[in-house]
Amino acid sequence: MHGFAYRHGSLHCEDVNLQTLAEEHGTPLYVYSANTIRDHYRRLDQALGSIDHEVAYAVKANSNLSVLRLLAEEDAGFDIVSGGELFRVIKAGGNPAKCTFAGVGKTRAEIEYALKQGIYSFNVESEEELRYLNEVAGDLGVIAPAAVRVNPNVDAKTHKYISTGKSENKFGVDFDLITDVYARAAKELANVKLRGLQMHIGSQLTSIKPFIEAVEKVAPLAIHLKNIHGIEFWSIGGGIGIVYHDSLKSGDPQWWASKSEDERPLTIAEYGEALVPRLQNLGLKILLEPGRYIVGNAGVLLTRCLYEKHGTAKTFKVVDAGMNDLIRPALYEGHHEIEPVKQPGEARRKVDVVGPICESGDFFCQDRELADFQPGEVVALMSAGAYGFVMASNYNSRPLPAEILVDGSAARVIRQRQTLDDIIAGEV
């Protein structure tokens, strides 16, 4: 669920009118609901409450300092994939000792920085990386805590670009090879401490079945590594999906109640009920690495309609946001509900919603029946809190949008809109 709903004819984020924000701060404009972020974190934390665990927010989903600060205040851990993300977490008040560092291509500078900051563990993606980690730690005269990422070869049945748990993906070590990697590391790598085991099978999973399959397959391995090498934690990854279709309606508890068991998306209650019994007797701390689930439905991108273009084959609604602001539809074929900020009437029209970027892939939907919003009106691209601003760019020399955080009736700018001078800063 989330904090967006129509009130008095206008779409609100919590107690703040989005039309007012668009008029005051301009568009494109990202807006986030603080209470939705808190609620999603707390729900997930409570779902695993009966076992030793930590919810480590995946910073790559949305790395704004104010978002990270909200989660640091909740005592969250953090899943990072770069030295820059670790820097952000620390600046936001997060504890580096609650950070795990993933990613297949860590540099020496990043490894040294993370070791000096005292992170909890490196999630290592290959034996070659593990040996390099040992070399860097040895040069610094320290011991590097590490977990190797196992690839369980489980099909997450998600988009090919966000599937990570199959043998053909670049992530992790093949399941059949992992015990030998731990054995060699324990024998040969004096500057590495094997602290845990990690896995992640993909993102935007809306069924519990792949999670169960992966946990049941890897649990015996985790027990073996605990008994032989004394590992203390098992990170089971993230990947819990959110509602993209019917996003606005899903903010109402009645929407969830109206769905049959087969129709209802994966809930946190269902996730906890299925996995906790399979994890509670392992004697390991369980780490969870959600990103999209925490922030995805907590954000929208506001954009203003500029023109309506009528062609022989289609009608186009041209808006002032582009694929540089929100690339998911172009990159992942990602679906975002498009809702007028002014509560619409019954009129609907099949249209393409497109942006100003000089690319044919610059669209937010194609041949979709939408409320018939008009030039000058503001619409909200729903479920844009994850992999939205963090993937934005200055393509076509367009300034990055501003970001707003709403907390109850208060709204504050958490990133200023870029200026043209900001775009060329650093160039000569």
Alpha carbon distance 406, 302 (integer Å): 14
Query: CA separation (Å) from 57 to 75, 194, 216, 365?
Result: 10, 22, 24, 29
**Are 52 and 283 a contacting pair, CB within 8 Å?**
no
Q: Is 290 annotated as a binding residue?
A: yes
358 is catalytic: yes
Alpha carbon distance 282, 278 (integer Å): 8
Q: Which helix (H) or strand (E) holds 227?
A: helix 209-229
**Are 17 and 392 a contacting pair, CB within 8 Å?**
no
Q: Buried b / exposed e across 309-328, counting CB within 10 Å, b at 16+? A: eeeeeeebbebbbbbbbbbb
| Token digits of residue 22 | 């668009």
Q: Which helix (H) or strand (E) holds 33?
A: strand 29-33
Q: Is 387 annotated as a binding residue?
A: yes
Which among 13, 99, 358, 365 is annotated as catalytic?
Answer: 358
**Are 359 and 396 a contacting pair, CB within 8 Å?**
no
Q: Is 291 annotated as a binding residue?
A: yes
Q: Is 328 annotated as a binding residue?
A: yes
**How far from each other are the two terminal CA atoms of the chain, in whole angstroms?**
47
Binding site for pyridoxal 5'-phosphate: which residues?
Answer: 239, 289-292, 387
Binding site for substrate: which residues?
Answer: 292, 328, 332, 359, 387
Binding site: which residues?
Answer: 239, 289-292, 328, 332, 359, 387
**Which of the residues are catalytic?**
358
